[in-house]
Structure formats: structure tokens, C-alpha cells
Amino acid sequence: MSNLIGIVNYGIAGNIHSIKKAIEKAGGKVLIIDKKEDLKKVDKIVIPGVGSFNDAMNELKKDDLMETLIEEIEEKPTLGICLGMQILSTLGFEYGKTKGLSKIDAEVKPILVDAKVPHMGFNKINVIKTNKLLSGLENEEFYFMHSYEVVNYTNIVSLTDYVGHNFVSSIQRDNIYGVQFHPEKSREAGIKLFKNFVEL
């Protein structure tokens, strides 16, 4: 079976080049997705994202990717990274209320802590439900950079502690995975995560 991984390139997709390089280093073949037809050609989907929930959803609509993406996510192993994980939720509360892709029953809200936000830098994940994506990475540190968190109770795979506040750092529902951190900035642990994704 071909194992082509599509990285969705929409207005605020962020560091696509680093993600592409990291996936290739992990042994994957990559297609950058610029139009909805490309989504049909790939075996797996990666949704990156840097910026605001509201902008992300508007860009997906503007680039005419939204409807096809919603369909294809159900069929194919999909990985949302950072904002890409957040938009898998039902609702986002960044600059008003925005409907997400509704793949995970969750809401995206500001991180409320008595400390510096955004939460930035390397931090450990605490895996509470093992899955294939995080296999062998149970005690690793990954690179985070975010001011919002996914509030979810049913699909949690790992939590991360930031100044005594536990937030959801990865999720899974069936073939849909999300990580709040940036594997492409997380050195060897990140490459291993992409390798696990390639091998799903």
C-alpha cells in the first residue's frame, strides 16, 4: 500500500517545511495539500497550525478545503498538531465563538494560570491511555507553544502539567489523533512520533 502523507497547507499552517522534513526523516512520503482534490490522493492527513482558531477556520473555508477535509478525516489516519489539534474540537473561544471541525467533543479555551502565557518550551507528557502514536514516548518531553487548551473529557491520551495546571496534551478518537505540542520541534522524540504515525 502506498503511504502518502498529506500536510494541509492553509493560510496559517505554520511551519510546513519543518513538518515535511521531520516526516521524511521518519520515513514518510509527503504531499503538500493546496487544494481539495489533493486530499483524495493521500493515505494520511496532517493538519498543522499556528495562530488563532478563528483565522484557521476562516482560511479553510476561503481555500475551499473545509468540506472535503471533514469527509476525508473520517476515512484516513489524521494528526492535528497544535492549532491543528484545537480545530478538531467543536468550539473555539478565541476572538469570539467559532465552530470547529467537530471531530472531537471538546472546546478550546484560554489557559488560565498564575504564570506566563503562552506556555512555551519543553515539557513532559503524562500518558494516561496508551496508543500507537505515543508508543515508546511515554516519558518524553516535547516542545510546546500555546495560549489556549483543549477542554475534553472523553478522548484524552496524555496530560501535561504547567505550574500545577494539568492540560490535555494529546487526544485520540478512532483514527483521529491530536497533539498540543510541536513534534517537528521536539528533536528525536518528535521524529519517533512521526515514525509511529507513518507506521499506523
Query: What is residue 129's three-state secondary structure?
Result: coil
Amino acid of residue 27: G
Burial of 121 (0-12, 13-18, 19+ CB in 10 A): exposed
pTM of the model: 0.97
With cell 519517533, the residue in question is 192
- Rounded distance, CA 12 to CA 15, Å? 9
The total number of residues written for the chain in this structure: 200
Domains within the chain, CATH numbers bracketed:
4-198 (3.40.50.880)
Residue 116 · residue 88 · CB < 8 Å: no
For all residues of the chain together, what is the average pLDDT?
96
Q: Which pLDDT score is estimated for 133?
A: 98
Per-residue model confidence as pLDDT tens digits over 149-183? 999 999 999 999 999 999 999 999 999 999 999 99
Which residue numbers are catalytic?
Answer: 82, 182, 184
